[in-house]
Amino acid sequence: MGGVITPFFHLVAADSRAPRDGKFIEKLGYYNPNTHPPQIHFNHERVLYWLQQGAQPTETVRSLLSKEGLLLKLHLWRKGKTPEEIEAAYQAWKAQKAAKAAS
């Protein structure tokens, strides 16, 4: 018999010509909206690699990447910042986000 179906999503790199639920190139993370707060886990290095190669995230994935600070990292990389500068800016962003959440 059928149970309750709960949503759970994998973030994958896929060829745009492949079917939506078809073959994918690489699994990059997941999003679990069933927990409070929702669990989001991405392999930051691989996500950034694919974005730097020209991968186009969906609007939903773009929103999740933004919440995780990955679009900030990509923006700084495109501006020519060093990995150290990118990491420092990312850590400052995370600290600011944590301070807002605490207040």
Who contacts 41 (Cβ-Cβ below 8 Å, separation ≥6)? 29, 30
Checking if the pLDDT of 22 tops 90, the result is: no
- Residue 89: pLDDT band with limits 50, 70, 90: very high
What are the residue ranges of helices labelled H in 3-82? 44-52, 59-67, 70-78
Checking if the pLDDT of 1 tops 60, the result is: no
Looking at residue 84, its pLDDT comes to 94
Looking at residue 62, its pLDDT comes to 92
87: helix, strand or coil: helix
Topology, domain 9-102: S16 Ribosomal Protein; Chain: A; (3.30.1320)
Q: Quote the percentage of the chain above a pLDDT of 90.
A: 40
The 10 Å Cβ neighbour count of residue 70 is 21
Q: What pTM did the predictor assign?
A: 0.77
Domain ranges of the chain: 9-102
